[in-house]
Structure formats: structure tokens, C-alpha cells
Amino acid sequence: MRQQQLQRYLSRSAARRVRLRLTDNRRSVVLARQDGGDAMGITLHGMFLEAPDRVLRALARFIQTPEPDLRRQVIRLYRETGLDRAGKADPAGRSVTINHQGSFFDLKVVYDRLNQEYFGDKLQVFITWGTRSARPGRRSVHFGSYNWDRGLIRINPALDRCFVPHYFVDYIVYHEMLHAALGVRKDGRGRRSAHSKEFQEREALFRHYARARLWERRNLNRFLRNAAIH
């Protein structure tokens, strides 16, 4: 389920306007506050996008009548269904806003499609656009990153542009998903490497691998002036 779909479902089921925000904070998986008039501001852990119907029904009841007992019921069902064990927690408990909807690309849609095609729909990590950081005169650019502690993929927001082809965004997301799936392996010399031989072999299996690498070489300079992510 996408964030917009979940927001519409909750608004319809609870019969009130809902403003939904997603984070990866596992210490506070459900937060609610009155957001003016009949609107309710809801902050949820990103794994609610994968929640089964009975969890979502309980969540809608809590939003309709935000009482402590109903909130505890949501959290209990969340844990019973194993959603609390997906991904990895940040030891410091700091939250990151999950923002996968861009102007041209929805990263959750990309992630879900690649997860099904290449990973048997078994990978469970988060994905979000990074934040912009202007650093003029850069000589290198990182289009994506994977945070091992958070289980979080960040994609450079510079890619959310009309001239960037879908297959290149797919390739960058796939690359980071491989990091999440394979972890750090030892290379032929016994050294730990995030780009092991197995990683490179599986990366080359991406449907548009050669095409994406060629596009990257031809267009890299367009990103070097303002392409840092955090």
C-alpha cells in the first residue's frame, strides 16, 4: 500500500480528515494529535504500509475515537503480526521522515516492483528521498545510500527530475536493495567488501544494467554541482 492510499483509507474508515506522516521511529509507532477542526494528524511507523486488514481496522477505530485503550490495541496487533520486527531500529531512537513520493517518481512503487521481480518480495527495508545539500564544485556524487542500522535506503532527490529515465532510478534503487540483501561479504583476498563478487554478479542481472551505466557516464556532470544527500 502507498502512503496516499493509506491516508485515504483511514480518512474514509474513520470518517474524518487524516494527515499522515511516516517515520522509522520504532519507539513511538502510533502518535495522534488534533490538527485543526475535525482533522487528525497521525504519525505512524512506515511498516504500517504493510499491515494486514485487522491492524488497519483497529487503527481506523483509534483515529475515530483516539482513546488510550484503542491505541494500545493497535500496538498489540502491530506486534502480534510481526511488524515490529521488520527492519532495524536506530539505537539512538531518532526518527527519519519517510518520504517516497516525489514529483516524478514514487520510490515505494519502484521498490515494491523490484522487490517482487528480483527478491521474491522478501526484502523488508525502508526507502525515502534524501535531503538536498548544496555543495558546489563536487567531484563525485552518490545517487543512493543504505543505512545498515536503520535498514533505510536513501535516494538522492536530484534524480527526481523529468530528464532522468525510469530505468536509471530503478537501477539505483536496485543497487541499494542489493546492499540490504547481501550485506558485507569477504572478497577473494578475505577482505570485507560491500561490492563483493556476488554483489557484482547480481547487479549485472538487472534488466537495464548496461543501459543505466551508459546513461550515468553520459550524464554525470549534470549532477555534480548539487547532488549531496543526507
CB atoms within 10 A of CB 143: 23
- The band of 225, judged by pLDDT with boundaries at 50, 70 and 90, is low
The answer to whether residues 106 and 2 touch, using CB atoms and an 8 Å cutoff, is yes
Q: What is the pLDDT of residue 229?
A: 44
pLDDT in tens, 107-125: 999 999 999 999 999 888 8
**134 Cβ neighbours under 8 A, 6+ residues apart:** 226, 228
The answer to whether residues 151 and 177 touch, using CB atoms and an 8 Å cutoff, is no
Q: Which amino acid is at 154?
A: R
| Residue indicated by cell numbers 560491500 | 194
pLDDT in tens, 7-52: 889 999 999 999 988 877 777 889 998 877 778 899 988 778 778 8
Task: Please tell me the number of Cα atoms within 13 Å of 177 on its side-chain side.
Answer: 27
Q: What are the angstrom distances between the C-alpha of 27 and each of 88, 139, 213?
A: 12, 39, 40
Q: What percent of the chain has pLDDT over 90?
A: 45
Q: What is the pLDDT of residue 228?
A: 45
- The band of 80, judged by pLDDT with boundaries at 50, 70 and 90, is confident
Write down the architecture of domain 107-226 according to CATH. Answer: 2-Layer Sandwich (3.30)
CB atoms within 10 A of CB 206: 20
> Does the predicted model carry a pTM greater than 0.85?
no
Q: Which amino acid is at 132?
A: R
Cα diameter, the chain: 64
Q: What is the pLDDT of residue 226?
A: 54
Q: What is the pLDDT of residue 196?
A: 82
Q: Which amino acid is at 97?
A: T
Q: What is the pLDDT of residue 49?
A: 77
Q: What residue segments make up the domains of the chain, in order of their start?
A: 3-85, 107-226
pLDDT at 210 over 70: yes
Q: What is the pLDDT of residue 53?
A: 84
* CB-based burial, 68-95: b 16+ in 10 Å, e otherwise: eebbebbbebbeebebeebbbebeeeeb
Q: What is the pLDDT of residue 46?
A: 78
124 three-state secondary structure: coil
pLDDT in tens, 164-190: 999 999 999 999 999 999 876 655 666
